[in-house]
Amino acid sequence: MNLAELKSLLAGHPHHVFRLQLPDGADVPVSFHVTEIGRVHKTFLDCGGTLRETTTCQLQVWVGEDYDHRIETGKLAGILNKGAALLPDESVAVEIEYEKEVISQYTIDSHDVTPTAVILHLTPKHTECLAPELCGLPDLRLPAIPGKSNRCGPSGCC
């Protein structure tokens, strides 16, 4: 979900409770706070030698001791508006950073709207080879060859 889509979703339901559901189906406790809104810009060289850049809008959420705290969609919309100057435009993807056992970053897989809540369903971020053709990676849908790695090609880029 990009920032424009999230803002539109929030604007369409300004008095709903805002909820987050983790990939395992567990909910982030409803008393969470949005402690940061940030622009995360990453410039990197992939394993094939291509220079790449990505920019995302990252929302950090934290669960404090104030169990009566609830964030509504209108309040989150206000937080996003305050952070607008940080972001290049509203087409950037939104990611959620949350600490359960470890600090993890999630993308938004989908959402539900109930009569009282907007629920974002989170999915974990994954790593991947961005230059599989240069790394000689095999088709990972093929069965593994005994004694050989099915993940890395002969070029040694992995």
Using CA atoms, how far apart are residues 31 and 53, in angstroms rounded to an integer?
35
In eight-state DSSP terms, residue 86 is G
- Residue spans per domain, the chain: 3-125, 127-158
User: Count of CB atoms within 10 A of residue 3's CB?
Assistant: 21
State pLDDT tens for residues 59-69: 999 998 888 88
Kindly report, residue by residue over 4-16, the tens digit of the pLDDT.
Answer: 999 999 999 999 9
The per-residue pLDDT for range 112-146, each reduced to its tens digit, is 999 999 999 999 998 888 888 887 776 554 455 55
Decide which of 51 and 129 is more confident: 51
Q: Which single residue is written with the structure tokens 């539900």? A: 112
The answer to whether 22 touches 92, Cβ cutoff 8 Å, is no
The residue with tokens 């937080």 is: 79
3-11 helix and 73-82 helix, angle to the nearest 10 degrees: 140
Which pair of structure tokens corresponds to residue 69? 């705290």
Indicate the average pLDDT of the chain: 88
